[in-house]
Amino acid sequence: MKNNWSNFHQIARNSFIATSTIYASTEFNFSNTSLPDRRSFCYAAAGGFVVLKSEKEFNNALSKAQDGSLPSVFYFTAAWCGPCRLIAPVILELSKKYPDVTTYKVDIDEGGLSNALGKSNVSAVPTLQFFKGGVKKAEIVGVDVVKLRTVMDQLYK
């Protein structure tokens, strides 16, 4: 398993080209980037921002998102990801703008979260997945601040 993660990280490091595709249905696919260093985000974040550090925490958060009780954004990132650091301040700003939406930060390098990536079909960072009413409504892979703001406004306003 460790060897597979090594390959994943190498692929992710070598391929963070921002692309974007919009689907006309209720789902969106966008290209976006990730957040900064875990420490800066943890201490700066307020209200609806939660750092997930274990498989159990991830499963609990995903259950809340899928049962419709909690509108949620799952932000998959890595400390080594430059685009993640670029988009981090925007994610923090939006988490404050929408306090009823919980933003979950998932560091792909955090021990114990390897199954979370498989369950969520995450293959690159940054990836943001947006849940509302128990359904994943949108996904953004890469950095596109305009699309991130648009999705948040459309889903959670």
* Three-class DSSP category at 139: strand
Look up residue 39 and give its two tokens: 């420490």
**C-beta separation of 133 from 78 below 8 A:** no
Report the relative pairing of strands 127-132 and 135-141 from DSSP bridges. antiparallel
Burial of 126 (0-12, 13-18, 19+ CB in 10 A): buried
Annotated catalytic residue, options 61, 73, 81, 88: 81
Q: From the candidates 70, 84, 113, 125, which is the catalytic residue?
A: 84
- H or E segment and range at residue 131: strand 127-132
Alpha carbons within 13 angstroms on the beta-carbon side of residue 82 total: 6
Q: Is 42 a catalytic residue?
A: no
**H or E segment at 83?**
helix 82-97
- Between CA 57 and CA 103 the distance in angstroms is 13
* Catalytically active residues, by annotation: 81, 84
